[in-house]
Structure 1
Amino acid sequence: MITEIITFAIPDGMTRDDVIANYRRSAPTWRANPELIRKNYLFDAETRRAGGVYLWRSMEAAK
């Protein structure tokens, strides 16, 4: 298994609710990927960073 951590800056003007709405829209796509064991979404209001923690079955799947 491979753990991948991705973070990115939240665009100016984007609210927590906007970020969560984007996460909810993307969740079905991630759930449909058989190579992804688990995904956790990240959000930090103080630093205005968001992202995800992905647990993949293999390095090839993570690419």
Structure 2
Amino acid sequence: MITAVVQFPLAEGTTLAEAQAIFESTAPRYLGLAGLIRKNYLFDPETCVGGGCYTFENRAAAEALYNDAWRALIREKYGADPEVRFFETPVMVDNVSNEIITETP
């Protein structure tokens, strides 16, 4: 599994309610996305930084999402280029399904 952490600045003074409304407007585009296990939207009201934490089945699925069109969408929606960092995710604890999910090396 791969976890991608995406960050981008939001407009100064953005509130949690405003960030939530923006995020809710984009959330449907990620439903049923091939290879995406979960996406969590992120917001830091102190720094007005937004983003997402995505868990993918594999790196290829992650890289398929972060193409030029996606970057242009982020730039248009938020007015800034996103920063994307990838992390191997060898173990994930899922308290909803009450299981520990591991990667087979």
| TM band (smaller chain) | 0.7 to 0.9
2:3 matches 1:7:
no
Quote the residue 2:35 is aligned against.
Answer: 35
Runs of 4 or more, structure 1, over 4 Å off, are: none
Alpha-carbon distance in 1 for matches of 2:7, 2:14 = 15
What runs of 5+ residues in structure 1 fail to find an aligned partner?
A: none
Q: CA RMSD in A?
A: 1.3
Correspondence for 2:53: 53
Distance 1:32 1:25 in 2: 16
Q: TM-score, normalised by structure 1?
A: 0.86
Alpha-carbon distance in structure 2 between the residues aligned to 1:47 and 1:27: 22
Shift of 1:15: 3.3
Q: RCO (CA 8 Å, sep 6+): is it higher in 1 or 2?
A: 1
**Paired positions, count:** 63
User: Which SS does the other structure have where 2:25 is aligned?
Assistant: helix
Compute the TM-score of the two structures, normalised by the length of structure 2. Answer: 0.55
Equivalent residue, structure 2, for 1:24: 24
Measure how far apart 1:18 and its partner are. Answer: 2.2
